[in-house]
Amino acid sequence: MGYESKYYIVKKSKDGVLDYDGKFYAQNIAMFDMCKFPELSNFFKKETDCYIYSDDGNTPILKDRYDDSLKELSIKEALTALLQAEEGNEQYRRIAPFKSLLTALNKDSNKWENLYVLHYGY
């Protein structure tokens, strides 16, 4: 098997309401499954101050499958990290679509507030 990664693009609410473990709710905007690509996940070091809900809409996600805290980067930081991780890995087919998504969100950053990328290991 091995360590795999999903990346959740989220909009943090930061409405002053702290829920689980003193964290803010974050709305899922998109999820991208990069599978095994540690070259990117290694850039995610900062623990996030938010949580998301699983697909069932009821179960809060505060940690990943390995019981590690969710880590975050801003959209711009995640795009920069992906570009650096891409060096030497240009043939990995999942890079291009994820890069396109992050590029589009970064370009339209004035249309979004508090947009972040969360790393979830599984």
- With beta carbons less than 8 A apart as the criterion, state whether 83 and 96 touch: no
The domain spans of the chain are: 5-121
Give 72-101 pLDDT, tens digit per residue. 999 999 999 999 999 999 899 999 999 999
Structure tokens at 14: 């930061």
The span from the CA of 38 to the CA of 119, in Å, is: 11
Q: Mean per-residue pLDDT for 37-66?
A: 96
- With beta carbons less than 8 A apart as the criterion, state whether 59 and 53 touch: yes
Mean pLDDT estimate for the chain: 94
Which are the contacts of 65, defined by CB distance < 8 A and separation ≥ 6? 120, 121, 122
